[in-house]
Amino acid sequence: MAKYQPNLNLDEIVAIDVHTHAEVSTRQPRDPCGVLFDEAMARYFREMKRPTIAETAAFYRERKMAAVIFTVDSEAEMGITRIMNEEVAEVAAEHNDVLIPFASIDPHKGRMGVREARRLIEEFGVRGFKFHPTSQGFYPNDRMAYPLYEAIQAAGLPALFHTGQTGAGAGAPGGMGLRLKYSNPLHLDDVAADFPELTIIMAHPSFPWQDEALAVATHKPTCFIDLSGWSPKYFPPNLVQYANTLLKDRMLFGTDFPVLDPDRWMRDFEQLPIKPEVRPLILKENAIRMLKLRD
């Protein structure tokens, strides 16, 4: 087992995608419930690639991009076996010129989750943590999750939270039981207040709560917004305005790959009225600073 250490050529990389998903394990069989979930996602998004972690690395290497990659642990709420965090970290270590591993731990795992987080940090070198309140079935400001946040903050690592509507369960009967209310970004205001040294990434344009996300990020200097999950041509005007001004240092390029292809994202981003001096901040420089990739 090799502990992950980044080996990115930051001068040659053109962008850092802070939001990509590990979709296929090469070490464990597919969960039959996961197959049903994947089929529902494919119907909603019309078409979805399902690359392995190594194939994702090759895809981004061809584009001279780096990518943060993670699984989503929603075992308690959805009953779907996750891809193991260890696999994500170990394969990322083999492709450390392009991949940056985050871990995902369901907060319902309590003290065992905290133990897992510390082990993944110390032994595997994960560089952050991913939460999906809707698919994990919890409010981010639920005190149940606070011991996990404490461990992440103590390690100086970022926590990335899904915000807004989700394609998971969309169009299925009852939305597969998933509840959007958990992913209102305003709940993260409490987390940012209670953990003032924790870097928080609010993922996606936060429909229908975009103003809430902008308010939290403007008020709490440790909060970033990643621009994943939507083509930039659909970004609301207020998001573009803040990206150009007050939050230009805390906006991050992200795609939600394989849901959205980085080639399409970049083409549509070129059409946005983003100031020339802001574009490199969003595409790479803000992520370098946020992920502490430079000494």
- Report how far residue 135's alpha carbon sits from residue 182's, in angstroms, rounded to the nearest whole number: 9
113 CB-near residues (< 8 Å, 6+ apart): 105, 106, 107, 148
pLDDT of 12-26, one tens digit each? Answer: 999 999 999 998 989
**pLDDT-derived band at 165, boundaries 50, 70, 90:** confident
Q: What is the pLDDT of residues 135-155, one digit of tens each?
A: 999 999 999 999 999 999 999
Instruction: Give 78 or 242, the one with higher predicted confidence.
Output: 242
pTM for the full model? 0.93
Mean pLDDT of 228-240: 96
Q: Give the C-alpha separation, 236 to 219, whole Å.
A: 20
For the chain, the structural domain boundaries read 15-290
62 has pLDDT over 90: yes
Lowest mean pLDDT among 20-24, 77-81, 204-208, 286-290: 77-81
Buried b or exposed e, range 191-225, using 16+ CB within 10 angstroms: bbeebeebbbbbbbbbeebbebbbebbeebebbbb
Top-level CATH class of 15-290?
A: alpha beta
Q: Which residues contact 294 (CB under 8 A, 6 or more apart)?
A: 10, 288
Whole-number percent of the chain with pLDDT over 90: 81
